[in-house]
Amino acid sequence: MVWKTKAVTFTFERPLMMGILNLTPDSFYDGGRFLNPDQALEQAFRLIQDGANILDLGAESTRPGAKSVSEEEELNRLLPVLDRLREQVPVPLSVDTTKSGVARCALEHGAHIINDVSGLRQDPELARAVGEFGAGLVLMHRRGTPETMQLMSDYNDLIGDVSCELSKSIEVAESYGVSLDQIIIDPGIGFSKTAEQNLELLEHLNEFKRLGRPILIGPSRKSFIAAVTKAAPDKRLFGTVAASVLAFERGANIFRVHDVWAVREALLVAEAILNQNKPSLRGSVSQ
């Protein structure tokens, strides 16, 4: 199974690390730390040094309750960093957005991947831009918006319903010209789910393999960990590591995290235990 992005193809003999680079003032964990392009660039190099195979840039917070920002504001935060990174970093760049205008502009400025946390529910035209540029597309499961999503966690069958809704997102993407091998899926830990539902998703993650696409998981420092440990975001590292290792054992391929070094090290050990003849953690990338 491969994932084709703009100019880069990933294979999945090994798990891949996606480092989070938030360019927002209000993200739940690191909001405001990397608004300055110089600080963002330093963090990008730090994430790569720690083992990130992909950088994911977000210029609009998607935390529960976050208010939407204009396309102009999102691009004002994003482009000064994206333009510098594309010239200076060796890894593919992903942009976390739900807006087709932002996605198209980001791709024009050198992004390789669009990470749509709405799964094309908010702006299906985003898929047209992805198809035209031959970019990678992350389709995450979410109902509603950041302001409404936690009111939309009623499911008849959590795993079945999330799978069905992701399948519909894939169909929409394909109808706009995105090929299946450009798509990966994310079940949306922390989005439109209760803490208990997030734990259930992780427990049954392998069931999403039926969709036939690589699986991205984003458990990093989220509130479901606090439901177990009662810890604040800055104390949720070990919970993130535990969730990531179990997700890996259940079939996750890409790990979107703040703390690349810690999760990477834990996965190195988990991989060595589970598959002793492949002890190194390297995603395969071809230009």
7 found inside a domain? no
6 found inside a domain? no
- Residue 38 CA to residue 36 CA, distance in Å, equals 5
Catalytic annotation present for 256? yes
Q: Which residue segment(s) compose the domain that 209 sits in?
A: 14-278
- Residue 249 CA to residue 76 CA, distance in Å, equals 40
What pLDDT score does 284 carry? Answer: 54
What pLDDT score does 276 carry? Answer: 75
What pLDDT score does 279 carry? Answer: 46
What residue has token string 């908010």? Answer: 122
68 found inside a domain? yes
What pLDDT score does 37 carry? Answer: 87
- Residue 92 CA to residue 18 CA, distance in Å, equals 10
What pLDDT score does 67 carry? Answer: 81
Instruction: Return the amino acid letter for 88.
Output: Q
Of 14, 104, 221, 222, catalytic: 222
- Residue 121, CB-side half-sphere exposure with 13 Å CA sphere: 16
270 found inside a domain? yes
How many separate domains does the chain show? 1
> Which CATH number is 98's domain given?
3.20.20.20
Q: In this structure, are residues 143 and 187 in contact, taking their beta carbons and an 8 Å threshold?
A: no
287 found inside a domain? no
Nearest to 17 by CA among 60, 72, 55: 55
What pLDDT score does 30 carry? Answer: 64
Give the 3-state secondary structure of the chain: CEEEECCEEEECCCCEEEEEEECCCCCCCCCCCCCCHHHHHHHHHHHHHCCCCEEEEECCCCCCCCCCCCHHHHHHHHHHHHHHHHHHCCCCEEEECCCHHHHHHHHHCCCCEEEECCCCCCCCCHHHHHHHHCCEEEEECCCCCCCCHHHCCCCCCHHHHHHHHHHHHHHHHHHCCCCHHHEEEECCCCCCCCHHHHHHHHHCHHHHHHHCCCEEECCCCCHHHHHHHCCCHHHCHHHHHHHHHHHHHCCCCEEEECCHHHHHHHHHHHHHHHCCCCCCCCCEEEC
258 found inside a domain? yes
What pLDDT score does 283 carry? Answer: 54
Strands 284-286 and 8-11, by their bridges, are: antiparallel
45 found inside a domain? yes
What pLDDT score does 85 carry? Answer: 95
What pLDDT score does 158 carry? Answer: 98
What pLDDT score does 262 carry? Answer: 98
- Residue 104 CA to residue 208 CA, distance in Å, equals 29
Of 77, 121, 256, 264, catalytic: 256
What pLDDT score does 275 carry? Answer: 80
Question: pLDDT truncated to tens, each residue of the chain (287 aa)?
Answer: 899 999 899 999 889 999 999 998 766 556 667 778 899 999 999 999 999 999 999 999 887 777 889 999 999 999 999 999 999 999 999 999 999 999 999 999 999 999 999 999 999 999 999 999 999 999 999 999 888 998 899 999 999 999 999 999 999 999 999 999 999 999 999 999 999 999 999 999 999 999 999 999 999 999 999 999 999 999 999 999 999 999 999 999 999 999 999 999 999 999 999 987 554 554 555 54
What pLDDT score does 282 carry? Answer: 47
Strands 93-96 and 54-58, by their bridges, are: parallel
- Helices 195-203 & 158-175, crossing angle to 10 degrees? 80
5 found inside a domain? no
